[in-house]
């Protein structure tokens, strides 16, 4: 059997060359995130001469991963936490003076940018839980001086929607039944607006106000299955449907930076599709389809809407960025996010609908080695399970499926019941089904690829992060004969201790979590229900190799979730390999840590499924904080490498 070129892990899991490309509101500058001395930082250049780019930030540790331009066109805003603890602080840097400032200097708080407005370029609205860790108060913050003024003292509300005048307009509150209530805020008075039942909570959400603050745009699934895009007129009290789809919820909107009107909305079933409300925008984007293959995304626009950054998204190639001057009708290729992927043997991610045993349609994505429609013989399979579970898998370039397919594995990603984006009926079909029907969906999808001779039933691995890590533990405990091995990344093992240790700012959502997870965990009966769904209590049934990864500072799924099951397995003399990262949180952010873990995971999969591997070497562990807390001797390549180094 012939093999395609081995793609080095550094290419797949190292830093991108350029990403998160933005235009300053006045169009003078182009910015992006790129490595500076090996760490992701913000770079800036004149739009007409990007070769003059320089790093305007110099973070030396975890890097900067997202940022915004303030509307003064000279200030960049970005967030940083401490080693993955998600206590986000807001920072600014002046594009002209390069002066840095921490705008929320309090420790152990979490800041959230709520609203930026071109009408008030020196100010923004920020929510901070500095008074009460459970609730975020709303402040107006002066970007230049750092002075902040309390706008709303919050003792009950979970979210804000503010208008272009930086005025609070809408408050959301979680209800005792797990739904939410919306309140209109006007002249300091709070009045009830609308109620969202628990079954619609994740498919109904306020989005934004129009320019005048007289109309609210929102997603609504009440009275229907999927979340459609609606407009509510406060003057008339009427609600109108803008658009929707019977298969899927609205997944995105496109808003004019000039008029603040909605120009298009997107639906995402297998792939993302845009439906246009503005014909001029539609024609301009259609013209882009003639120059390159891929799904088109408008990523940044200037305030006068003359300049755009447009991205071409592919599943088997890097993201290509273009600058589009709408006045000159000129399209200029800028760069791609990972140019070293250009000539690599990447494969397609194939949207595939698989029927669950009770008839539900599961939108799945299948990636195969050598990009074949069907392999000549059954392959080892890696089931890659998304987190959430209130999230979903998408079509596009993803490093993990590409890595696995390149090593010779079939890769299957399943949007199991409880995933978002497919309407409330599909979403709510997952309520109370952790480890049960949600797991059966995964098993049904595996059986589908086995029946079609795509996968070898003796060589199936399960792997995932967060809920995907929980699904891995469920797979190896509840159905131990199905899987050849499993990789759990930051997954909970004990649902009782999981819900007892959530961050304080998640407490408003506890009633909704009870509905989703299927038990009132404040009662004895509810705790007993969660115990039955917790892999920790079935650890003695694990008989296949297990690799566990955790970040010590994870605020969502505490390190104790992995410690517990590792300790339980040790009591039962069941082998397990456990890798801990002291400077990570809910996932691996530092590329040095990603390279070390996926190097270990590759050796683990090769040992248990027989796929190809790139040998472990010093470059995989350079500057990584990894600690092998248990079971280094189980993975031969890891034991040999550690022995060589010592």
Q: Is residue 619 among the annotated active site residues?
A: no
Q: Is residue 606 among the annotated active site residues?
A: no
- Residues facing 465 on adjacent strands: 489
Phi, psi at residue 466, to the nearest 5°?
60, -120
Q: What is the distance between the alpha carbons of residues 18 and 181, in angstroms, rounded to a whole number?
A: 41
Phi, psi at residue 175, to the nearest 5°?
-95, 165
**Helix (H) / strand (E) containing 330:** strand 330-336
3-class secondary-structure state, position 545:
coil
Catalytic residue among 92, 221, 419, 466: 466
3-class secondary-structure state, position 422:
coil
Q: Is 36 in contact with 642 (CB distance < 8 Å)?
A: no
Catalytic residue among 24, 586, 606, 620: 586
Cα 425–431–434 angle (5° rounding)? 130
Q: What is the distance between the alpha carbons of residues 250 and 203, in angstroms, rounded to a whole number?
A: 9
Cα-based torsion angle of the residue sequence 568, 574, 577, 582 in order, rounded to the nearest 10 degrees:
10
Rg for the chain, CA atoms, rounded = 25
Q: What is the distance between the alpha carbons of residues 191 and 171, in angstroms, rounded to a whole number?
A: 10
Q: Is 298 in contact with 310 (CB distance < 8 Å)?
A: yes
Q: Is 42 in contact with 30 (CB distance < 8 Å)?
A: no
Q: What is the distance between the alpha carbons of residues 245 and 267, in angstroms, rounded to a whole number?
A: 7
Lay out the sheet containing 410-414: strands in order across: 350-355, 361-367, 410-414, 379-385, 455-465, 485-489, 546-551, 577-581, 627-630
In sign, the C-alpha dihedral spanning 613, 340, 364, 293 is: negative
Q: Is residue 119 among the annotated active site residues?
A: no
Q: What is the distance between the alpha carbons of residues 512 and 196, in angstroms, rounded to a whole number?
A: 12
Catalytic residue among 137, 200, 554, 583: 554
Cα-based torsion angle of the residue sequence 379, 380, 384, 385 in order, rounded to the nearest 10 degrees:
100
Q: What is the distance between the alpha carbons of residues 229 and 268, in angstroms, rounded to a whole number?
A: 14
Q: What is the distance between the alpha carbons of residues 259 and 212, in angstroms, rounded to a whole number?
A: 10
Q: What is the distance between the alpha carbons of residues 9 and 23, in angstroms, rounded to a whole number?
A: 31
Annotated catalytic residues are 466, 554, 586
């Amino acid at each position: 059997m012939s093999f395609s070129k081995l793609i080095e892990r550094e290419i797949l899991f190292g830093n991108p060359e350029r990403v998160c490309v933005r235009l300053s509101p006045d169009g003078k500058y182009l910015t992006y995130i790129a490595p500076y001395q090996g760490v992701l930082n913000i770079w800036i250049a004149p739009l007409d001469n990007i070769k003059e780019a320089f790093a305007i930030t110099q973070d030396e540790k975890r890097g900067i991963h997202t940022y915004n331009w303030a509307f003064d066109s000279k200030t960049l805003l970005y967030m940083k936490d401490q080693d993955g603890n998600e206590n986000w602080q807001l920072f600014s840097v002046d594009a002209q003076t390069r002066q840095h400032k921490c705008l929320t200097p309090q420790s152990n708080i979490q800041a959230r940018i709520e609203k930026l407005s071109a009408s008030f370029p020196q100010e923004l609205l920020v929510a901070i839980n500095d008074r009460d860790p459970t609730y975020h108060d709303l402040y107006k913050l002066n970007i230049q001086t750092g002075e902040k003024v309390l706008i709303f003292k919050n003792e009950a509300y979970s979210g804000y929607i503010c208008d272009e005048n930086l005025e609070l307009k809408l408050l959301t509150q979680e209800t005792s039944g797990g739904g939410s209530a919306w309140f209109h805020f006007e002249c300091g008075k709070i009045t009830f607006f609308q109620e969202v039942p628990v079954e619609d909570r994740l498919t109904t959400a306020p989005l934004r106000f129009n320019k005048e603050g007289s109309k609210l745009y929102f997603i609504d699934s009440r009275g229907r299955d999927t979340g459609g895009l609606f407009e509510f007129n406060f003057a008339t009290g009427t609600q109108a449907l803008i658009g929707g789809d019977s298969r899927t919820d609205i997944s995105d909107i496109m808003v004019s930076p000039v008029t603040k009107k909605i120009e298009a909305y997107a639906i995402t079933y297998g792939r993302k599709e845009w439906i246009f409300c503005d014909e001029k925008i539609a024609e301009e984007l259609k013209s882009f389809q003639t120059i390159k293959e891929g799904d088109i995304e408008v990523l940044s626009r200037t305030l006068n809407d003359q300049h755009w950054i447009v991205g071409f998204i592919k599943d088997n190639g890097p993201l290509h960025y273009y600058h589009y001057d709408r006045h000159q009708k000129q399209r200029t290729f800028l760069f791609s996010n990972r140019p070293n992927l250009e000539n690599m043997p990447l494969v397609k991610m194939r949207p595939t609908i698989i029927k669950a045993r009770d008839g539900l349609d599961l939108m799945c994505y299948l990636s195969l080695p050598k990009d074949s429609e069907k392999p000549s013989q059954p392959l080892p399979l890696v089931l890659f399970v998304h987190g959430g579970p209130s999230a979903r898998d998408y079509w596009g370039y993803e490093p993990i499926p590409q890595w696995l397919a390149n090593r010779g594995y079939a890769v299957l990603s399943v949007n199991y019941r409880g995933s978002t984006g497919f309407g409330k009926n599909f979403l709510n079909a997952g309520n109370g089904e952790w480890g049960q029907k949600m797991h059966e969906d995964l098993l049904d999808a595996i059986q589908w690829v086995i029946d079609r001779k795509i996968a070898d039933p003796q060589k199936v691995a399960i792997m995932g992060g967060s809920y995907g890590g929980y699904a891995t533990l469920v797979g190896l405990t509840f159905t131990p004969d199905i899987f050849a091995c499993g990789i759990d990344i930051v997954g909970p093992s004990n649902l009782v201790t999981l819900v007892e240790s959530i961050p304080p700012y998640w407490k408003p959502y506890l009633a909704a979590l009870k509905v989703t997870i299927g038990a009132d965990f404040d009662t004895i009966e509810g705790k007993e229900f969660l115990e039955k769904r917790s892999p920790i209590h079935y650890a003695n049934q694990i008989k296949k190799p297990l690799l566990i990864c955790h970040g010590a500072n994870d605020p969502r799924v505490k390190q104790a979730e992995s410690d517990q099951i590792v300790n339980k397995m040790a009591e039962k003399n069941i082998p397990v390999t456990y890798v801990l990262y002291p400077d990570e949180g809910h996932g691996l952010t530092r590329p040095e840590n990603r390279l070390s873990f996926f190097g270990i995971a590759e050796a683990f999969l090769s040992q248990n499924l027989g796929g190809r591997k790139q040998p472990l070497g010093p470059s995989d562990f350079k500057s990584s904080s990894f600690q092998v807390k248990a079971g280094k001797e189980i993975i031969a390549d890891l034991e040999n490498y550690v022995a060589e180094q010592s």
